[in-house]
Each structure stands twice: as C-alpha cells, then as structure tokens.
C-alpha cells in the first residue's frame, strides 16, 4: 500500500502538524535540516543503514551509512567553522555530483550557514553573477573547476575562502585557497549544530528568468516540513526502498528530493555521476535494484528515443514507483513507460520558488496521461482570470495557476530583490507564471508559461499541446513550439523539430508532419512552418529553452542564457 493511502481521505482536515508530529517538531523549537537528515536518523537506531550509494566516472564507487554522513557533515561543518564561516554566511558549492556536494550541503546547514549550490557546468560569468548577488563567503569546489574561480576571484573581495576537496599537491594553492580532504580529515564525533529556527535561512537557489539577472530564491529550515511529507506521500519512499533522483543538487529538485527528502526519511539513495546514457542508466537501475525513480521529461524522452530493444538487456523488475519533474510530461511518455516498464511515470508540478511539489499524480490515483494531477493536501490551488485575478469556476477554461501562500517550503524572498518577490503575488494568491485548465475531476492540465500562449487570430493555442502531438509522429524525436509574427493573424505556430535516425528533413517531411497535426489537433494548431534542427537549446538541467527560439523569431533580446547547456 502507498504511503498516501486514499487521496480523498488525506484531503479531509489536513494540517501540516501531521508532518511536524512525525518529525517530533513543535512550533518555536530548534529545527535544523542537517541534524534531521543525519543525527536524528542515527538516534532512531539506523546509524548502520546505508544512506548513500555513489558511482562516478569509470565505475568508481563509494558507500556511506547514516553514521558516515553524520560524521562527514560534522567534519565539514567543523572545518568551515574553523575557517571563520558563521551562521547565515553564504557558502557556494560548485562541484559535480560527488559525495562532498551532498555531504557539504548538510555540513553547511548544520553550522547555520546558507548553502548555495550552483551547477558545475556554469561558466565563470554565470558563477560571478550569482556569487556577487549572494556575496558568498566561501566556495567549495574541485580541481577541474578551480580555473573558473581563479578567473573571477579578483572581482569578489567578499569571497574569503576557496576550498578544494580533491587537491593533489602537484600545483601550489593560491591566495585564499585551502585544501580539504574528507578521506584524510579526522572524523568529528561530537558536534554542536547551530540552533536554527523555522525561519532561519537554509538554501539559496538561483533561477533564470526571461529578462534581467538570475534571482536568488531564499528558503528556510521549516521547508523540511513540506519536503519530508511530499517525499513520503508523492514519491512514496518507504523504509526498504532504494531511491534514485537523477537531478543535480545545483537545481532545487536535487536538494529538496535528492538530499533533504530521502535523508530525512532515513532511506537508501543512490547517485550516478557519469552523465546520461540509456544503457548506463538501465544498468545502474539493475545493479542497485532501484525501486523508486525520480527523473525528468527530457531524460524520459531520450530513453524513448533509444528504443525498447535495449531495455530487454536488463532486469528492471525492482522498479516500483516512477515519477517525473522539470517540465510537463507528454501523454505519450506516460503510455510508453507503462508499455516498457509496466509502470506509469507520475508527473509532478512545482518550481524553485515553491520549494516542494505542489500538484501531482499520486500513487494509487488514476493517471490521466498528460495531466499534472491534483494539488497536494494542504495546498489550495486554482486558476485565475489573468485580468481580474479572481478564480475561474469553469471547466476547461484557461487561466493562471495560483496557490494560497503559507505552505512550509514556500520561498521567503528573492535575495536582495524584494520588489520582484512581491510582484509574484496578486489578490492574495501566489502566481508561478504558468497557465492551465482544470477538468471536472479537479485535475490540472498544463497549457504553457504565461507568456508562451500563442494567440493566432484570436484563438489560443498551447505550445505544449502541439509539442505533445508532434512527439506522437513516428519521425519526431524532440520538438519545441513557439509563435512567429504573421501579418494576418498577428502570430502563428512555428515548430522546431529534431528527427529520429533514418528520417530525412525535407519539404515532404514538413508537409507530412503538418497534416498529421492538422488532423490530430486543428488547422489553427498546425504549424505554419517547421524548422528541422540537429538539437534544441536546453538548460543544463535539461529543459528546452523555448524563449530563445521565441526571441529569435521576434527579433527580441534573448536575455539571461547563463543556464544554457552550451552557452
């Protein structure tokens, strides 16, 4: 039986105190995420239980019990304290998915400092912008990334410590640089963690917008209340599960559900730090007997592209629950996963600013392929009229997704940008910036970003709907749909398409796909132009950056592209 049990029953009289009770937390008490994810689990008698199974390039493996990660986070916290890092100082983590990244976040939180994880593929300018905004006191990094830090260090007088976790002694360290080796450091048994409270800042995640600088999303230690219960009920993580979240902790999924969720639940999780490859991923699932798998639509579509034959080489029978996050999951992917794995991927909706999953397809609940699902108990979600910001009580009518503020993991502000933060709220609702519809059963259906909707001749067209239909064509591997200017209709649909191997990009193929969409959706939704491309612009977390394609079509400024995969 799933952890959430009956969804309708959970909705009745729900209160977040249920999560507080399970975590033995009372209002006003000390609440430190680092302690809850390590010491508390050990005090529950699980110190010898495996916490982290890590595999890196070339099959290198490392294993950590809960007592190991307790000692490691104590040791990292002590090292930072001895350097002079204080509570609420920002400590940047700029590493690949190595164990020090996961354990470093916990160590930083234990001393009351603010963890600022940044994706290791960022270039020096992207790194500088984010560290400048946060005025980071320290950065923890690796030899392979130290050159980027050195290029900008003179522009960061606020940066006092550059910590290298894999220093080999071959080249002298420079000013402000210091070596730290988790393997060689003396484990710290007794450690006094900082007594953070509910509103003490915990994490600072940066999110890129269409225009302007990246925004630092500030979260607090009380976010644990949401992250613990959503991981338990939505991802259905149970006592004996082997859990795999493929997200990098440089992004919010990788911290909320790649560190905090599983460790606060005291389960075993595994991490693969060797990039994407269908065969490598299936091998990893088989080898570790993964039971709960949390991944992204881009990765799922890549697995689909790799085909079904490769799956037959592996025993994936351990898989019990599959979930997806990052961008909307096309209906085709849900149908495909049920066919090849015997399990449906359960789509989730949330964002950096919400801190935890807001809308989901729950274990045991009927999945409507292509739907986001229904709001989590304790979350009041609706759609608003974009002009009046009043709830729309009409089935199937497009509106702005909105949530009533007050859930534990909600961001507390944008760092040094309170005005932009306040603009996210209208008429007593928080607006994520997306549009959707709600059906008669209360399921949400994603339409697109608020500024993505294509208005062609007065008719609204959902880019996501067209993309989903495109993916059902036998020749289409990936697609991105945007609007392009049109003298008659103001704007019309344009599709960017990558083809599967064996198909030819020519005029005949363009017409074939156009007619396919016209028949499947409508003549209004049919792309007026299809541009065949070798690849689509994506963020390093795998999201297709439609706004770049849109900006090029309209001759607009592209804006911040620091999270672009190959910028």
What is the domain-level CATH number for residue 527?
3.30.300.30
The 10 Å CB-count burial string (b at 16+, else e) for 447-460 is: bbbeebbbebeeee
Instruction: Please report the pLDDT score of residue 394 as a whole number.
Output: 84
Does the pLDDT value for residue 278 go beyond 60?
A: yes
In this structure, are 281 and 340 located in the same domain?
A: yes
> How far apart, in whole angstroms, are the C-alpha atoms of residue 497 and residue 320?
33
- Tell me the two tokens of residue 114: 């603010």
Instruction: Please report the pLDDT score of residue 539 as a whole number.
Output: 81
pLDDT, tens only, 423-448: 999 999 999 999 999 999 999 999 88
Q: Greater confidence, 404 or 447?
A: 404
The 10 Å CB-count burial string (b at 16+, else e) for 300-337 is: bbbbbeeeeeeeeeeebeebbbbbbbbbbbbbbbbebb
Contacts of 231 (CB under 8 A, 6+ apart): 237, 257, 260, 261, 262, 264, 265
In this structure, are 459 and 322 located in the same domain?
A: no
> How far apart, in whole angstroms, are the C-alpha atoms of residue 117 and residue 139?
10
Does the pLDDT value for residue 209 go beyond 70?
A: no
> How far apart, in whole angstroms, are the C-alpha atoms of residue 56 and residue 316?
21
Instruction: Please report the pLDDT score of residue 562 as a whole number.
Output: 65
Q: How many CB atoms lie within 10 A of CB 513?
A: 23
Is 233 inside any structural domain? Answer: yes
Residues 137, 91 contacting (CB under 8 angstroms): yes
Tokens 């609440």 correspond to 31
Average pLDDT rounded to a whole number, residues 186-208 = 95
In this structure, are 428 and 465 located in the same domain?
A: no
Is 563 inside any structural domain? Answer: no
> How far apart, in whole angstroms, are the C-alpha atoms of residue 307 and residue 304?
5
pTM of the model as a whole: 0.87
Is 423 inside any structural domain? Answer: yes
Does the pLDDT value for residue 239 go beyond 90?
A: yes
Instruction: Please report the pLDDT score of residue 516 as a whole number.
Output: 92
Name the band, by pLDDT with cuts 50, 70 and 90, for residue 415: very high
> How far apart, in whole angstroms, are the C-alpha atoms of residue 542 and residue 408?
27
Name the band, by pLDDT with cuts 50, 70 and 90, for residue 194: very high
Name the band, by pLDDT with cuts 50, 70 and 90, for residue 566: low
In this structure, are 140 and 248 located in the same domain?
A: yes
> How far apart, in whole angstroms, are the C-alpha atoms of residue 348 and residue 53?
25
Please choose, from the candidates 287, 232, 295, the residue with its C-alpha nearest in 3D space to the C-alpha of residue 263.
Answer: 232
Tokens 């096309």 correspond to 330
Name the band, by pLDDT with cuts 50, 70 and 90, for residue 210: very low
- Tell me the two tokens of residue 318: 């351990």
Average pLDDT rounded to a whole number, residues 309-325 = 97
User: Which of 438, 461, 484 is the C-terminal boundary of a domain?
Assistant: 438
Does the pLDDT value for residue 163 go beyond 70?
A: yes
Does the pLDDT value for residue 543 go beyond 60?
A: yes
CATH number (domain holding residue 392):
3.40.50.12780
In this structure, are 425 and 469 located in the same domain?
A: no
Instruction: Please report the pLDDT score of residue 211 as a whole number.
Output: 45
Is 53 inside any structural domain? Answer: yes
> How far apart, in whole angstroms, are the C-alpha atoms of residue 553 and residue 529?
12
Q: How many CB atoms lie within 10 A of CB 157?
A: 8
> How far apart, in whole angstroms, are the C-alpha atoms of residue 229 and residue 516?
43
In this structure, are 294 and 411 located in the same domain?
A: yes
Is 567 inside any structural domain? Answer: no
Is 97 inside any structural domain? Answer: yes
Phi-psi region of 401 (alpha: psi -120 to 50; beta: other; left: phi over 0): beta
> How far apart, in whole angstroms, are the C-alpha atoms of residue 46 and residue 153?
42
Range of the domain at 149: 7-438
Q: Greater confidence, 23 or 463?
A: 23
User: Which of 381, 412, 438 is the C-terminal boundary of a domain?
Assistant: 438
Does the pLDDT value for residue 143 go beyond 50?
A: yes
Termini Cα distance of the chain: 46
In this structure, are 342 and 487 located in the same domain?
A: no
> How far apart, in whole angstroms, are the C-alpha atoms of residue 462 and residue 358?
22
pLDDT, tens only, 442-479: 999 998 877 777 878 666 677 887 898 899 999 999 99
Does the pLDDT value for residue 387 go beyond 50?
A: yes
In this structure, are 407 and 287 located in the same domain?
A: yes
3-state secondary structure (DSSP) of residue 148: helix
Q: How many domains does the chain have?
A: 2
498-507 contact pairs (CB < 8 A, 24+): 498/532, 498/533, 498/534, 498/535, 498/536, 499/475, 499/532, 500/305, 500/474, 500/475, 500/476, 503/475, 505/532
Name the band, by pLDDT with cuts 50, 70 and 90, for residue 564: low
**Percent residues over pLDDT 90 in the chain:** 81
The 10 Å CB-count burial string (b at 16+, else e) for 164-184 is: bbbbeeeeeeeebbeebebee
Residues 286, 331 contacting (CB under 8 angstroms): no
Mean pLDDT score of the chain, rounded to an integer? 93
Tokens 């830090």 correspond to 149
Give residue 320's Cα distance to chain centre.
21
In this structure, are 313 and 395 located in the same domain?
A: yes
> How far apart, in whole angstroms, are the C-alpha atoms of residue 182 and residue 98?
12
Instruction: Please report the pLDDT score of residue 567 as a whole number.
Output: 47
In this structure, are 109 and 204 located in the same domain?
A: yes
> How far apart, in whole angstroms, are the C-alpha atoms of residue 153 and residue 336?
48
Instruction: Please report the pLDDT score of residue 298 as a whole number.
Output: 81
Does the pLDDT value for residue 560 go beyond 70?
A: no
**Residue 347, strand partner residues:** 324
Is 448 inside any structural domain? Answer: no
User: Which of 386, 413, 438 is the C-terminal boundary of a domain?
Assistant: 438
In this structure, are 410 and 536 located in the same domain?
A: no
Please choose, from the candidates 207, 233, 22, the residue with its C-alpha nearest in 3D space to the C-alpha of residue 130.
Answer: 207
Is 498 inside any structural domain? Answer: yes
Instruction: Please report the pLDDT score of residue 253 as a whole number.
Output: 95
pLDDT, tens only, 87-103: 999 999 999 999 999 99
Instruction: Please report the pLDDT score of residue 545 as a whole number.
Output: 86
Q: Of 18-22, 208-212, 434-438, which gets the smallest average pLDDT?
A: 208-212
> How far apart, in whole angstroms, are the C-alpha atoms of residue 119 and residue 449?
24
- Tell me the two tokens of residue 27: 């209002």
Instruction: Please report the pLDDT score of residue 436 as a whole number.
Output: 96
Tokens 């990936």 correspond to 478
In this structure, are 66 and 161 located in the same domain?
A: yes
């Amino acid at each position: 039986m799933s952890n959430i049990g009956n969804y309708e029953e959970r909705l009745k009289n729900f209160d977040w105190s249920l999560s507080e009770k399970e975590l033995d937390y009372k209002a006003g008490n000390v609440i430190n995420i680092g302690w809850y994810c390590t010491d508390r689990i050990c005090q529950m008698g699980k110190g010898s239980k495996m916490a982290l199974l890590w595999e890196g390039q070339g099959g290198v493996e490392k294993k950590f019990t809960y007592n190991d990660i307790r000692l490691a986070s104590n040791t990292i916290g002590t090292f930072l304290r001895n350097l002079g890092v204080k509570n609420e100082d920002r400590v940047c983590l700029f590493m690949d998915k190595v164990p020090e990244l996961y354990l470093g976040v916990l160590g930083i939180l234990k001393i009351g400092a603010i963890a600022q994880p940044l994706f290791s593929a960022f270039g020096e300018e992207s790194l500088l912008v984010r560290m400048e905004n946060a005025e980071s006191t320290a950065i923890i990094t690796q030899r392979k990334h130290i050159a980027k830090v050195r290029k900008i260090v003179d522009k960061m007088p606020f940066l006092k410590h550059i910590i290298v976790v894999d220093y080999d002694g071959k080249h002298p360290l420079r000013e402000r640089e210091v070596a730290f080796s988790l393997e060689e450091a003396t484990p710290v048994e007794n450690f006094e963690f900082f007594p953070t409270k509910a509103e003490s800042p915990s994490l600072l995640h940066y999110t890129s917008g269409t225009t302007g600088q990246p925004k630092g999303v500030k979260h607090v230690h009380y976010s644990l209340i949401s992250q613990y219960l959503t991981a338990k009920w939505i991802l259905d993580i149970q006592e004996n599960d082997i859990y795999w979240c493929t997200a990098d902790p440089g992004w919010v999924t990788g911290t909320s559900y790649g560190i905090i969720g599983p460790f606060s639940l005291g389960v075993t999780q595994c991490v693969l730090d060797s990039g994407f490859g269908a065969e490598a991923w299936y091998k990893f699932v088989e080898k570790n007997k993964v039971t709960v798998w949390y991944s992204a639509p881009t990765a799922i579509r890549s697995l689909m592209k790799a085909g079904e034959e490769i799956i037959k080489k592996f025993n994936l029978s351990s898989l019990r629950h599959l979930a997806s996050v990052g961008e909307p999951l096309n209906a085709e992917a849900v149908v495909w996963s049920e066919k090849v794995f015997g399990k449906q991927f359960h789509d989730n909706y949330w964002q950096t600013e919400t801190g935890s999953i807001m809308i989901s397809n729950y274990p045991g609940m009927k999945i409507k392929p292509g739907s986001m699902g229904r709001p989590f108990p304790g979350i009041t979600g609706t759609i608003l009229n974009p002009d009046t910001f009043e709830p729309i009580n009409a089935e199937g009518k497009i509106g702005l997704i909105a949530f009533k503020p007050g859930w534990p993991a909600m961001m507390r502000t944008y760092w040094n940008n309170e005005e932009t933060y306040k603009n996210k709220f209208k008429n007593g609702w928080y607006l994520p910036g997306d549009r959707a519809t709600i059906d008669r059963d209360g399921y949400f259906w994603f339409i697109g970003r608020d500024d993505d909707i294509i208005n062609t001749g007065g008719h609204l067209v959902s880019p996501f709907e067209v993309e989903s239909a495109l993916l059902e064509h036998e020749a289409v591997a990936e697609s991105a749909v945007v609007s392009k200017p049109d003298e008659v209709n103001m704007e019309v649909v344009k599709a960017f398409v990558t083809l599967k191997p064996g198909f030819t990009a020519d005029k005949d193929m363009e017409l074939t796909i156009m007619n396919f969409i016209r028949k499947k959706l409508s003549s209004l939704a049919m792309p007026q132009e299809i541009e065949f491309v070798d690849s689509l612009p994506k963020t390093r977390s795998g999201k297709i950056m439609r706004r770049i394609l849109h900006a090029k079509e309209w001759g607009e400024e592209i804006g911040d592209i620091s999270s672009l995969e190959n910028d």
